[in-house]
């Protein structure tokens, strides 16, 4: 499955206002619920925080992919957020996180959920892509970079 099938420019927060881990998760969860009103914000935030207790979803290189499964989710849901100043997210490399992809999957999703996590990770391995996402002026430019990279795989 392609990222472009899930992510639209309206799903992108080009400048997260939050500076702390839980606040960023709250802000990203609010975007999910804004775009998918059938999902419960408080429940999603609880699921994300529980997942973070298992180990940080900050994978290194300024990237975090918080994720969780919800009964109400009818399919995969993806939002993107960017913090220009970076957030202490307890990432594996102890660096601040600037780029966030939040993925929500239905409870019974296994394979597709893991494939999407891998796809996001693969696209963001390229330092030039990460740099482009950090320097993009707005959501449309961020979306264009993601769409172009997604089409290469």
**Pair 89, 96: CB distance under 8 Å:** yes
Please give the domain boundaries of the chain with CATH numbers for all domains. 10-151 (3.40.930.10)
| Percent helix, strand and coil across the chain, each to the nearest 5 | 45, 20, 30
Closest-CA residue to 71 (of 117, 32, 105, 102) = 105
67 is catalytic: yes
Pairing status of strand 67-70 against strand 63-64: unpaired
**Pair 146, 122: CB distance under 8 Å:** no
Instruction: Spell out the per-residue pLDDT of the chain, length 153, in tens.
Output: 899 999 999 999 999 999 999 999 999 999 999 999 999 999 999 999 999 999 999 999 999 999 999 999 999 999 999 999 999 999 999 999 999 999 999 999 878 989 999 999 999 999 999 999 999 999 999 999 999 999 887
Of the candidates 36, 41, 67, 113, the residue annotated as catalytic is 67
**Pair 80, 101: CB distance under 8 Å:** yes
| Residue 73 structure tokens | 């989710």
In angstroms, the CA 101 to CA 63 distance is: 8
Q: What is the pTM of this model?
A: 0.96
């Amino acid at each position: 499955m392609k990222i472009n099938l899930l992510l639209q420019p309206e799903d992108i927060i080009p400048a997260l206002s939050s500076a702390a881990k839980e606040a960023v998760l709250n802000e990203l969860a609010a975007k999910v619920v804004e775009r998918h009103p059938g999902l419960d914000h408080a429940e999603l935030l609880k699921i994300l925080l529980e997942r973070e207790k298992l180990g940080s979803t900050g994978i290194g290189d300024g990237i975090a992919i918080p994720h969780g499964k919800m009964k109400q989710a009818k399919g995969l849901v993806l939002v993107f957020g960017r913090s220009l100043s970076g957030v202490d997210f307890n990432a594996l490399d102890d660096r601040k996180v600037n780029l966030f992809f939040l993925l929500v999957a239905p409870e019974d999703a296994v394979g597709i959920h893991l494939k999407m996590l891998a796809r996001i990770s693969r696209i963001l391995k390229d330092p030039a892509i990460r740099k482009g996402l950090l320097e993009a002026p707005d959501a449309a430019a961020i979306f264009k970079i993601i769409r172009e990279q997604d089409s290469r795989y």
